[in-house]
Amino acid sequence: MPEGDTIHKLAVYLDAALAGRVVTAVRLHPAFGASAGARRVLRVTSEGKHLFLTFDDDTALRSHLGMYGAWHRYPRGADWRKPRRQASVVVSTETDDFVCFNAKEVQWLRRSGFQRADQAARLGADLIRDAVAPAELRRRVAAFLAPDTTLVDLLLDQRIAAGIGNVYKSEVLFLERRAPLARIRDLDDAALLALYRRAAALLGENLGGGARTTRFVADGRGRLWVYGRRDLPCFHCGTPVRRAVLGRQPRSTYWCSVCQG
């Protein structure tokens, strides 16, 4: 599933392919708004799990892949691997179509407009690009979340810090020995900061090629500590890993009931 590391790598790839080029059309699924004609791409960037294509006419196209979205590249005229009805965005050049399928959100923005500024303000620090500032982290937590908010909800809230998805949520909580249903009020400032520094480190470790990895042990037993390992023994204590659907927006969470209390 796309998380901050995936979107960052996607932005780097699309920027190399499109920055400085004139695209012949930007076609949106009608559910997301109007299509547009030829324009030059200035850059492609990521902010957490959001991707921005910025153009030379003061517009930017924001997309969020959600759980099921994906970008594909096809030579013009080639068959697509997914049905055309699933295309949320098609960015065409003279030689290629860059197709975003099944996006959760797509939005036109003015680069210098209120909506773009508001979008940036509503996202916390990008954990790949920005240093974690302790005072700002605590300020955003106090501003947006109640003290009884669970840690599964805390880590997925992009207003606090951007880039953590469902896999990193479970892995960070395991590595920091925090129970998924512990509350914000259970953490002091140092423990709160440690969660986000751990997430930033893991995201940074996964900016190269290869499968997502949080367990850097070359024993062939697995790349992740708990995610996807329901009923398998914990790598630390041997207790079967648990799984449950938790949180305000229910998502699968994996944890060790012994190591994480």
Sign for the pseudo-dihedral over CA of 15, 19, 23, 29: positive
Element (H, E) at 53: strand 50-55
pTM for the predicted model, two decimal places: 0.86
pLDDT tens track of the chain, all 261 residues? 689 999 999 999 999 999 999 999 999 999 999 999 999 999 999 999 999 999 999 999 999 999 899 999 999 999 999 999 999 999 999 999 999 999 999 999 987 654 555 565 678 999 999 989 999 999 999 999 999 999 999 999 999 999 999 999 999 999 999 999 999 999 999 999 999 999 999 999 999 888 899 999 989 999 999 999 999 999 999 999 999 999 998 999 999 999 998
Q: Could you give the CA distance from residue 151 to residue 173 in angstroms, rounded to a whole number?
A: 8
Q: Where in the chain is the domain with CATH 1.10.8.50?
A: 126-255
- From edge to edge, which strands make up the β-sheet containing 70-75? 25-28, 87-92, 96-101, 70-75
Q: Could you give the CA distance from residue 113 to residue 148 in angstroms, rounded to a whole number?
A: 36
- The per-residue pLDDT for range 182-210, each reduced to its tens digit, is 999 999 999 999 999 999 999 999 998 88
Q: Give the C-alpha distances (Å, rounded to integers) separating 128 from 47, 49, 132, 177.
A: 9, 11, 10, 23
Q: Where in the chain is the domain with CATH 3.20.190.10?
A: 4-122
Fold of 4-122: N-terminal domain of MutM-like DNA repair proteins (3.20.190)
Q: Could you give the CA distance from residue 150 to residue 87 in angstroms, rounded to a whole number?
A: 36
Q: Could you give the CA distance from residue 231 to residue 243 in angstroms, rounded to a whole number?
A: 8
Give catalytic residues, as residue numbers: 2-3, 49, 251
Architecture of 126-255 per CATH?
Orthogonal Bundle (1.10)
